[in-house]
Structure 1
Amino acid sequence: MKSEVKPLVNLNINPCKMCMPMGSATAFYGLKNCMTILHGSQGCATYIRRHMATHYNEPVDIASSSLTEQGTVYGGSENLKKGLKNLIELYHPEIIGVMTTCLAETIGEDVPGILQSFLEENPGYGDITLIPCHSPGYGGSQYEGYFAALSAIVSSIKMDAKKNNLVNVITAPLSPADTRYLKRMLSLFGIDAILLPDLSDNLDGAHDPRYNRLPHEGTELARLKQMGGARFTLELTAFHHKNSVGEYLSETYGVPYERLSLPAGLRDTDAFLNALSRISGNEIPEELKKERGRYIDAMIDSHKYHSAGRAAVFGEPDLVYSTVRMMCECGIMPVVCAAGSASPELDGLIRPEIEKLAGLYLVDEYKIADKADFKDIEDMVLAYKANILTGSSDGRRIAEDLHLPLVRRGFPIHDHVGGQRLKMLGYEGSVEYMDEIANQLIDTVETTFRETLYDTYYKGTAIDHKKQPESEEEIMKRKTKEHPCYNCQAHQFARIHLPVAPACNVQCGYCVRKFDCPNESRPGVTSSILSPEEALKRYLSVKEKMPNLTVVGIAGPGEALENWENVKKVFELIRKEDPKVTFCLSTNGLKLPQYARELKELGVSHVTVTMNAVDPHISGQMYQYIRFMGREYTGDAAGALMVANQLAGIRLLIASDILVKVNIVTVKGINDSHVPEVVKAVKSLGCFITNIMQMIPVKGSALEHVEPVSNKQLNEIRKQCEEIMPQMYHCQHCRADAVGTLTDDKSIQLKGFLSEEKPVFVPVPKSYRFAVASKSGVVVDTHFGHAKEFYLYDYRNGEVRFAEKRNVEQYCQGEEECGEKEDKIERIIAALNGCNGVIAMRIGMEPAKKLAKLGIKPVNTYDMIEDAVKKAAEAM
């Protein structure tokens, strides 16, 4: 059984995107004789070069200003100027794209100002066009960086506004092959277009024995300058960008523009060709009409295969949008649509498409998401049962883990060759894309149907000659099937709880373990404590009389992990005698991070964690105190520590392939409305089932007077949470020495090998907190009414320890002011919250009555503080 540790914090795991400079560098590579330089550390340029060179299989040069610690502190202008000068002398470019990075932006580098200063200092370089581009890695993804570069290009180049007959064509990120196909369509209409950018040859060039240091193809500077006088602009992206080139040229130079989706699939290619026909005044060429017909024929040929597809589409927003539109035309159901970049428009644009197809296929659930990482995508692929993936090769880990085919499109593609030659534009590119998806679906059926038939009808049957010993996963399934607490159908199987763990490290507000309760069935009570050897004898004795005994559990009466040596020895002894028995354990989770992996080594397969809240404040209200690593915690501090350790411990259990049940004790007015949040949290961690329990009021407990939630309310909470994850309805609130099935306890009848000593129960350690009125901090030397501060001391089992100091407002400030001061004394008493007693030189009658009424014992004395606390505690 494969498990993994799930994060408890908001973070990206394997992002489905790259940094802004990556996209900016790609856009600049579409310009002829253009060189780029990154103003930042050397590693940024190396990272981008490697990614681009591996995808495009072409040499990629990107310069760097190589900022160091000195440049970071004192400014990097000299580094950038020196880098520019070296670049110009080595490459002799016409255009230089100067991109910023996280480092340059964070220290506030004025790149445009540095470039202006550079030209003033070097007038001989005045014929070189310098284009500053703001592209911090944290400013967005490569998608935003790409459009930021296009905007920087058109806004930095001095335009010739003289009217001409050219058409500007601005594209979203495309492969070189798609760019070539786009140029072909434009030429068929006789349109003289300025393509921005033009990656068709620079990143997928013909073999040339001569090495060109600069991109020798792409859009020329002279053509770029004519964009301001063009007769029309076509912007090929489905999304509105703040760096829209079309809008800029329209507002600045009056060039009319239209925004269309990338010409992929039937409808969007039709719309694009109709726009070209309108702009050029020419009919759609017959050649393209035939391509359209072939595409429609291919759609018909493949529809029976496409209809089986449940696709997960991921990548840049335009890629996701166009792929989803194309799939919906062909009958492939996109169940997961995820963009790595932030794209708030994505959902509104593609949801109508998906809803229509989902209605035809009776598909109820699918997911559209932006800002997704590959962990999100993998979770969605599992949740929505995708059977094919489309996107970049960064999704190959998901494909490998889930045994799903991956159709590669977009950037980057590092594990296959030819990423620069993959197409999706036009009828021709669309049919290649859809054929590839159909063939992958066919291959999946052809290579798995025999295994599916075998697993469904033959595997594990009496005639299966290849039957193998139980796998770890099969063993876990069998043990869970036979565990009465994890399977409501397992009522015929018995369990035994061995009471070997008396000590506890928390004091729950609803728990008391001071005496034997032979006639009471609830957690935390037992008639005796067993040694590990006695526990073994008891198990063997019961097993002999009860052959349906399948589970050995340790559930107290205290905290199992606080009694680790006893617990460990019990499991080891029983494992030697019965290797197949199921071990389970109940814990409050405080020490789970310390022992989770050791539980796995001991063979524990099921663990129940009592977790009453995921909000530290609510959790803190459930405990009077907790003890951890030699210190005692109360309130929010206790709650925060409990929640953190419980969540971390559960994660480690899941990672160790241990099934986790979470018990939630529901206390009216404290956590009853918070329970669904707990269930959601443990569900996200991978827990198996939750058991929402009614608090049983116990006399002497802190919450003894709290009215339990009604059965009706409890079942309403369970029903609400049942929509999140499975719920346990058959809990019997078992004792720590329970034996038998859940409905037929035999602990009294099978009492053999219980200690004959007087019933032992877990003594709750004497623990008190006192507020001491003292000026010196050494001696009890202050009257209660004159105290401006109280020193709080904790007493536990003979030990006195200072806890904190609380400032208060004295209520008696002189004879004439010691009359009716009710508001002040109330504030003082409020400040003594959590104290069991107050020690002062003298406490007046009225304050003493008020204190006693609130359960705070007043103590008059003059003594050393530690001696006074000990005497007061002994008198409690």
Structure 2
Amino acid sequence: MDLPVLFNDPPASPSGGCAANSCGSSDDQLGHLPEAIRDKVFNHPCYSEDAHHYFARMHVAVAPACNIQCHYCNRKYDCANESRPGVVSEVLSPEQAVKKVKAVAAAIPQMSVLGIAGPGDPLANPQRTFDTFRMLSEQTPDIKLCVSTNGLSLPESVEELSKHNIDHVTITINCVDPEVGAKIYPWIFWQNRRIRGIEAARILIEQQQRGLEMLVERGILVKVNSVLIPGVNDEHLKEVSRIVKEKGAFLHNVMPLIAEAEHGTFYGLTGQREPSHAELQALQDACAGDMNMMRHCRQCRADAVGLLGEDRGAEFTLDKIDAMEIDYAAAMETRARVHADIAEELAQRRQHGPAPVPILQASGPTALMAVATKGGGLVNEHFGHAREFLIYEASPAGVRFIGHRRVETPYCEGDSSCGEGESALAKIIDALEGCRAVLCAKVGYEPWSALENAGIQPNGEHALEPIEEAVLALYQELLEAGKLTDDVAQQRQSA
């Protein structure tokens, strides 16, 4: 009997979003959408797992007010060291936002998407939000425009959204049951009064669902964000995923709760625990049967700039922008060339797919592997410089992207003379819990030994290779060497 070959599912065509087994944007899964909508996905880093390796995004913080209160949210200002939704360093006027967008677009030509996501709710600040979109539509027509909302004011804003060429909207929907919602939202501000409890949750849910339906009717692509809160909505999110898919949402992004006490949120101060990596993956997998799942979300700041996983916002503060000389017409030409080159590379990748890697056995263990990357879909980051690791799952059935894990301090930023390097390394190893190997461009002797002692095989031999091919090849090598067994993999994943 012929032995199986390890490879990804057939790649999507150039007009499809990302490759199959990633964020789920293959041709088959996009078949219910018009081709014009599919073409809007391929260079959107938040909607396509493939695109997020190549294209950058930015958020402008023009919407300070919010019309609901969430137990997991605490909007903060001038918090340069925090990376989570609702945090910004400076709130901008619409005019300042447009100026900043032009500066970023000129300096980062692969930037393809501009989103308004806070720090409050964009649709609770309609004039500031739509003034910004109106000017950007006129002055930066090559940039996609997006908005993220809690949905309370969405139905009344749909017509205005459709006027500004906004074809991507994200709605945060954490529940479809008011009793669950009452545990997440203490109040909403609705029709000039504050409403609390189950009634508040019921109104919010009704508005979210109505807004979702209205967007889909107009051909606007909808992504649904949900925050996984253990013991509150963890099991309920399966029903959320089923319902939003039935109503036409394109993508579901289940994100882990961030509840560190120092952030000052209700959940953080009351000891609500965050989900584990295993819990998040299990729920994403459970929802995947009903919905295309987004697994590459970074839960960005409301003023984030750059590729997903990096934040270059500090380079584009208002005082620095004022000192820049920007020729936006020339920048547009450069951007067009860069985007065309990236589109061609993505099309080639989807056409050919990763090189097949023969497997010596018809069945085998499933193993998680971490990858250090700067972007471009390559293994190209030094272990000691990595601020996050992408996580892939490999098995004889193929390879799929699982998510990412952020590290608090890169190993090479620690001071080994005072023990900070060892402390940083220990935290990185904790972050890689469950992984059988880590692929990177280079790795030093000391972290190599520590990783091996933790049961994580370091590997620098696949540097500069495409990530999926490198993961598959390393999986094959570990199988041949007898370093992958069901017992080892299962023990690591269940730890």
Deviation at 1:721, TM superposition (A): 0.5
Contact 1:597 1:652 in 2 (8 A): no
In the alignment, what sits opposite 1:750? 316
Q: Give the corresponding residue for 2:266.
A: 702
| Residue in structure 1 matching 2:69, options 482, 507, 513 | 507
Alignment partners' CA distance in 2, 1:533 and 1:515 = 20
Offset of residue 580 of structure 1: 2.9
Tell me the distance in 1 between the aligned counterparts of 2:321 and 2:174: 34
Q: 5+ residue gaps in structure 2? A: 1-14, 16-32, 323-495
Alpha-carbon displacement from aligned partner over 1:832-853 (angstroms, at most 9, x marks no partner): xxxxxxxxxxxxxxxxxxxxxx
- The corresponding residue for 1:611 is 173
How do residues 387-466 of structure 1 correspond to structure 2 at under 5 angstroms?
A: none
40, 43, 50: which one pairs with 1:479? 40
Q: Does structure 1 residue 560 correspond to structure 2 residue 122?
A: yes
The 8 Å contact of residues 44 and 113 in structure 2, kept in 1 or not, is answered as yes
* CA positional deviation for 1:549: 1.1
Deviation at 1:750, TM superposition (A): 3.0
Q: CA deviation at 1:744?
A: 2.8
| 2:88 aligned counterpart, secondary structure | coil
Residue identity opposite 2:278 in structure 1: K
> Partners of 1:515 and 1:548 in 2: how far apart?
28
Kindly report which structure 2 residues correspond to 1:624-663, keeping only aligned pairs within 5 A, or say none. 624-663=186-225
Measured in 2, the distance between the counterparts of 1:645 and 1:597 equals 15
For 1:676, which of 228, 238, 242 is the aligned residue?
A: 238
* Correspondent of 1:524 among 77, 81, 86: 86
Task: Evaluate the alpha carbon distance shift between residue 681 and residue 545 of structure 1 in structure 2; reply closer, same or farther with a 3 A threshold.
Answer: same
CA distance in 1, matches of 2:101, 2:76: 26
Quickly say closer, same or farther: Cα 1:748–1:606, change in 2 above 3 A.
same
Counterpart contact for 1:508–1:623, Cα < 8 Å: yes
What SS does structure 2 have at the residue aligned with 1:626? strand
- Give the Cα separation in 2 of the matches to 1:743 and 1:701: 23
Q: Is the 8 A contact 2:76 2:87 kept in 1?
A: no
| Aligned-pair CA distance for 1:698 | 4.5
CA distance in 2, matches of 1:751, 1:547: 18
The higher-RCO structure (CA 8 Å, 6+ apart) is: 2
Shift in CA distance, 610/755, structure 1 to aligned 2, threshold 3 Å: farther
Distance 1:660 1:524 in 2: 21
Counterpart of 2:142?
580
Q: Which of 156, 159, 178 in structure 2 is aligned with 1:597?
A: 159
Letter of the 2:137 counterpart? R
- Any idea what the Cα deviations from partners look like across 1:682-703, whole Å, max 9, x if unmatched? 0000100000011101533221
Taking the aligned partners of 2:79 and 2:178, their CA distance within structure 1 comes to: 32
Q: Which residue of 2 aligns with 1:7?
A: none
C-alpha contact (below 8 Å) 2:114/2:146 kept by paired residues: yes
How far residue 620 of structure 1 moved from its aligned partner, in angstroms, is 1.6
Q: In structure 1, what is the equivalent of residue 283 of structure 2?
A: 717
CA distance 1:515–1:531, shift in 2 (3 Å): closer
Counterparts of residues 176-187 of structure 1 (less than 5 Å):
none
- 1:231-290 deviations in Å (ceiling 9; x for gaps): xxxxxxxxxxxxxxxxxxxxxxxxxxxxxxxxxxxxxxxxxxxxxxxxxxxxxxxxxxxx
Provide Cα deviations, 1:579-637, integer angstroms capped at 9, x if missing partner.
23211100000011110121011111101100000001101211121101111111100
CA distance in 2, matches of 1:625, 1:702: 13
1:539 matches 2:101 = yes
Structure with the higher fraction of residues in helix conformation: 1
Q: Give me the whole-angstrom Cα distance separating, in 1, the residues matched to 2:141 and 2:35.
A: 16
Distance 2:76 2:217 in 1: 37
Q: CA deviation at 1:515?
A: 4.1
Render the CA deviation track for 1:28-80: whole Å, top value 9, x for unaligned: xxxxxxxxxxxxxxxxxxxxxxxxxxxxxxxxxxxxxxxxxxxxxxxxxxxxx
- Residue number among 298, 302, 313 corresponding to 1:736 in the alignment: 302
How far does the alpha carbon of each residue in 1:412-466 deviate from its partner, in whole angstroms, 9 at most, with x for none? xxxxxxxxxxxxxxxxxxxxxxxxxxxxxxxxxxxxxxxxxxx9xxxxxxxxxxx
For 2:76 and 2:315, the matched residues in 1 are separated by 24
Distance in 2, Cα, partners of 1:583 & 1:476: 14
SS in structure 2 at match of 1:569: helix
1:675 shift after superposition: 0.6
Per the normalisation by structure 2, the TM-score is 0.56
Q: Distance in 1 between matches of 2:283 and 2:76?
A: 32
User: Given the superposition, is the C-alpha separation of residues 562 and 477 from structure 1 closer, same or farther in structure 2, using an over 3 Å criterion?
Assistant: same
Q: Matched residues in 2 for 1:586 and 1:541: separation?
A: 23
- Helix, strand or coil at the partner of 2:147: strand
Matched, 1:488 2:49: yes
Amino acid at match of 2:314: I
**Structure 1 segment 696-845 matched on structure 2, within 5 A:** 696-699=258-261, 700-704=264-268, 705-752=271-318
Q: Is the 8 A contact 2:77 2:90 kept in 1?
A: no
Deviations 1:347-399 (A, max 9, x none): xxxxxxxxxxxxxxxxxxxxxxxxxxxxxxxxxxxxxxxxxxxxxxxxxxxxx
Q: Decide whether the 8 Å contact of 1:666 with 1:709 is kept in 2.
A: yes
Q: Is this contact kept in 2: 1:537–1:753, CA < 8 A?
A: no
The number of aligned residues is 286
User: Are the aligned partners of 2:178 and 2:202 in contact in 1 as well (CA < 8 Å)?
Assistant: yes
Counterpart contact for 1:529–1:755, Cα < 8 Å: no
- Percent sequence identity over aligned pairs: 41
Q: How does 1:182-201 map to 2 (within 5 A)?
A: none
Higher alpha-carbon Rg: 1
Amino acid across the alignment from 2:202: A
| Code of the aligned partner of 2:236 | H
Alpha carbons of structure 1 residues 754 and 633: separation in structure 2 relative to 1, 3 Å: farther
**2:68–2:187: 8 Å Cα contact kept in structure 1?**
yes
SS in 1 for 2:227: strand
Q: What residue number does 2:26 align with?
A: none
The structural deviation recorded for 1:715 is 0.6
Q: Deviations over 1:133-186 (max 9, x none)?
A: xxxxxxxxxxxxxxxxxxxxxxxxxxxxxxxxxxxxxxxxxxxxxxxxxxxxxx
Cα pair 2:169 2:220 within 8 Å, conserved: yes
Once the 2 structures are TM-superposed, how far is the Cα of residue 495 of structure 1 from its aligned partner?
0.8
Amino acid in the other structure paired with 1:483? H
Q: State the alpha-carbon separation in 1 of the partners of residues 35 and 291 from structure 2.
A: 22
1:308 equivalent in structure 2 = none
Distance in 1 separating the partners of 2:151 and 2:69 = 13
Shift of 1:517: 1.8
Partner of 1:270: none
- Gap change, CA 1:550 and 1:750, over 3 Å in 2: same
- Over aligned residues, Cα RMSD in angstroms? 1.8
1:130-209 matches, within 5 Å, as none
Structure 1 723/740 Cα, relative in aligned 2: closer, same or farther at 3 Å? same
In structure 1, stretches of 5+ residues that fail to align are 1-454, 456-471, 757-876
Q: CA deviation at 1:666?
A: 1.0
Q: Secondary structure in 2 aligned to 1:484?
A: coil
Runs of 4+ in 1 over 4 A off after TM superposition: 472-475, 752-756
Give the alignment partner of residue 620 of structure 1, picking from 176, 182, 185.
182
CA contact (8 A) 1:620 1:639 kept: yes
485 and 753 in structure 1: CA distance in 2 versus 1, 3 angstrom threshold: farther
Q: CA deviation at 1:725?
A: 1.1
Q: Retained in 2: the 8 A contact 1:512–1:698?
A: no
Q: Deviations over 1:811-851 (max 9, x none)?
A: xxxxxxxxxxxxxxxxxxxxxxxxxxxxxxxxxxxxxxxxx
Q: Aligned partners of 2:196, 2:246: CA distance in 1, in Å?
A: 28
